[in-house]
């Protein structure tokens, strides 16, 4: 058992979030050396986000990879609830998903849930979340997904791709199961109550598009797990393989705690922030440093509680050796926060400049990504015969 544990690096010892606790709560499995090695065998290289367990937990990742290796049909699926502008916390899992798409050479089905966010968020009109869907799509394209292999479904516009599947899914889910999984109450609007059916149906769309049972891997936050638990329960009875998951960590915000979140704009780095603005936000960020430079030199900083260090670790320093050097330079008081922030600010600004150029170009490419321009909606009669 011991050799199955990930190498515990010092900065992993004390994270902001107790990810082991999350794995327990959701009943998922930790991603061990075994899955990491299997993935490396299958795609021929390892991503630092796997090595560092930025993606740290899974369900059936091994079964998915074995099916891929046997030459069976596979696809990727992820999604975005367009409740606001894209920030770097959203980009993080997409960067990894793009890598998977490239290395596995398979299609990605991308759901944009403008209906969900309309139902969920007070004060949004459907046209607001729909407009945001198109804004977010520019960021998805800018990350570099392949147009010929990336198929976007916008719920409010592409429902015919999902509805026959959703109708079958809905019949398998009782209200009591739904309520227990999502904590719905008597005052939840019925849009929210129906919505899970659509997110689950999307996991089965690849099977209907290809006309054969398709193994689907879903990179997502662990908070989406309740959908997949239900999806996995009902999949066999509808003739679909159970969808597999791989769960990613959340990027922290630039404040003392909490994930990067649109509800705290001063601590979030948006893809549309002018690089100069992003730099200022970083220079003003909370750190694990001491109150004065003198104390920092004497006592050292605390990278384990520092959002700046986490940004390096999760996204902006792929080189393990350099990351480790930074960690110890901070801990021993050699590296002061100002310098550490300045270097990060430069990297983030460069990333944003390039992303924003690609985002501009993306405006002419949207049509190439929309599923409606590429596949006919699947027929009402399921193409996947129950086995």
> How far apart are the C-alpha atoms of 384 and 387, rounded to whole Å?
9
Q: What 3-state DSSP class applies to 160?
A: helix
- What is the DSSP code (8-state) at residue 305? G
Rule CB under 6 A: say whether 90 interacts with ligand TRP: no
Residue with smaller CB distance to ligand TRP, 118 or 312: 118
Residue with smaller CB distance to ligand TRP, 224 or 272: 224
> How far apart are the C-alpha atoms of 251 and 262, rounded to whole Å?
12
- Other C-beta atoms closer than 10 Å to the C-beta of 11 total 21
- For residue 203, which of 61, 385, 28, 79 has the smallest C-alpha distance? 79
- Other C-beta atoms closer than 10 Å to the C-beta of 96 total 21
DSSP 293-307: HHHHHHH---GGG-H
- Other C-beta atoms closer than 10 Å to the C-beta of 220 total 18
Number of residues binding to ligand TRP, judged by CB under 6 A: 13
Select from 49, 169, 201, 218 the one that contacts ligand TRP (CB under 6 A): 218
Angle 115-76-242 (CA atoms, 0-180°, nearest 5)?
90
Contact set for ligand TRP, span 108-127 (CB under 6 A) = 111, 113, 116
Residue with smaller CB distance to ligand TRP, 77 or 161: 77
Residue with smaller CB distance to ligand TRP, 36 or 202: 202
Asked if 139 and 181 count as a contact pair (C-beta separation under 8 A), the reply is: no
- Other C-beta atoms closer than 10 Å to the C-beta of 367 total 10
Smallest gap from Cβ 264 to ligand TRP, in A, equals 17
Residue with smaller CB distance to ligand TRP, 101 or 290: 101
> How far apart are the C-alpha atoms of 79 and 132, rounded to whole Å?
14
Rule CB under 6 A: say whether 178 interacts with ligand TRP: no
Asked if 251 and 65 count as a contact pair (C-beta separation under 8 A), the reply is: no
Residue with smaller CB distance to ligand TRP, 47 or 80: 80
The token pair that represents 214 in the structure block: 């398709």
Window of 71-79, 97-105, 167-175, 182-190 that interacts with ligand TRP by CB under 6 A: 71-79
For the purposes of burial, counting CB atoms within 10 Å of the CB of 25, is it exposed (0-12), middle (13-18) or buried (19 or more)? exposed
> How far apart are the C-alpha atoms of 385 and 328, rounded to whole Å?
58
Window of 39-47, 217-225, 303-311, 318-326 that interacts with ligand TRP by CB under 6 A: 217-225
Asked if 323 and 317 count as a contact pair (C-beta separation under 8 A), the reply is: yes
Residue nearest to ligand TRP (CB): 79
Select from 9, 156, 188, 224 the one that contacts ligand TRP (CB under 6 A): 224
Rule CB under 6 A: say whether 78 interacts with ligand TRP: yes
Cβ neighbours for 216, distance < 8 A, ≥ 6 positions apart: 64, 74, 75, 76, 77, 109, 203, 204, 206, 207, 241, 243, 244
Select from 26, 39, 57, 81 the one that contacts ligand TRP (CB under 6 A): 81
Site string for ligand TRP, 321-360 (x = CB under 6 A): ----------------------------------------
Rule CB under 6 A: say whether 220 interacts with ligand TRP: yes
Window of 2-10, 76-84, 128-136, 372-380 that interacts with ligand TRP by CB under 6 A: 76-84
Smallest gap from Cβ 155 to ligand TRP, in A, equals 9
Residue with smaller CB distance to ligand TRP, 202 or 352: 202
Smallest gap from Cβ 244 to ligand TRP, in A, equals 12
Select from 199, 207, 214, 290 the one that contacts ligand TRP (CB under 6 A): 199
Smallest gap from Cβ 301 to ligand TRP, in A, equals 34
Burial 110-119 (b: 16+ CB within 10 A, else e): bbbbbbbbbb
Select from 47, 53, 80, 279 the one that contacts ligand TRP (CB under 6 A): 80
Smallest gap from Cβ 82 to ligand TRP, in A, equals 8
Which residues of the chain form contacts with ligand TRP (CB under 6 A)?
77-81, 111, 113, 116, 199, 202, 218, 220, 224
């Amino acid at each position: 058992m011991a050799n199955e544990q990930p190498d515990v690096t010092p900065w992993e010892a004390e994270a902001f979030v107790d990810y082991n606790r999350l794995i327990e709560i959701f009943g998922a499995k930790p991603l061990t050396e075994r899955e990491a090695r299997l993935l490396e065998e299958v795609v021929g290289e390892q991503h630092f986000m796997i090595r560092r367990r930025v993606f740290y937990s899974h369900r059936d990742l091994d079964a998915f990879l074995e099916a891929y290796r046997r030459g069976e049909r596979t696809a990727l699926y992820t999604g975005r609830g367009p409740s606001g502008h894209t920030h770097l916390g959203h980009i993080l899992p997409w960067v990894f998903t793009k890598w998977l798409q490239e290395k596995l050479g398979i299609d990605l089905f991308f759901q944009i849930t403008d209906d969900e966010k309309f139902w969920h968020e007070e004060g949004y009109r459907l046209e607001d979340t729909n407009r945001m869907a198109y804004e977010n799509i520019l960021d998805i394209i800018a990350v570099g997904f392949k147009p010929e292999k990336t198929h976007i479904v916008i719920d409010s516009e592409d429902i015919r791709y999902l509805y026959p599947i959703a109708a079958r899914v809905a019949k398998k889910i009782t209200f009591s199961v739904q309520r227990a999984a999502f904590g719905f109450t008597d005052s939840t609007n019925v849009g929210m109550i129906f919505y899970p059916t659509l997110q689950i149906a999307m996991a089965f769309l690849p099977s209907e598009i290809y006309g054969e049972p398709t193994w689907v891997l879903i990179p997502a936050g662990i908070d989406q797990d309740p959908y997949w638990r239900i999806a996995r329960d009902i999949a066999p009875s509808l003739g679909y393989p159970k969808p597999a998951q791989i769960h990613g960590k959340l990027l922290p915000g630039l404040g003392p705690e909490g994930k990067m979140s649109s509800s705290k704009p001063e601590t979030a780095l948006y893809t549309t922030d002018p690089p100069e603005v992003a730099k200022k936000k970083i220079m003003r960020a909370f750190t694990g440093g001491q109150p004065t430079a003198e104390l920092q030199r004497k006592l050292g900083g605390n990278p384990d509680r520092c959002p700046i260090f986490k940004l390096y670790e999760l996204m902006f320093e792929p080189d393990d050796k350099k990351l480790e050097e930074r960690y110890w330079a901070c801990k021993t008081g050699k590296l002061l926060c100002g310098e550490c922030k300045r270097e990060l600010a430069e990297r983030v600004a460069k990333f944003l400049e390039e992303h924003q150029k690609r985002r501009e170009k993306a405006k002419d490419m949207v049509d190439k990504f929309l599923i409606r321009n590429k596949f006919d909606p699947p027929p009402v009669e399921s193409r996947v015969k129950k086995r």
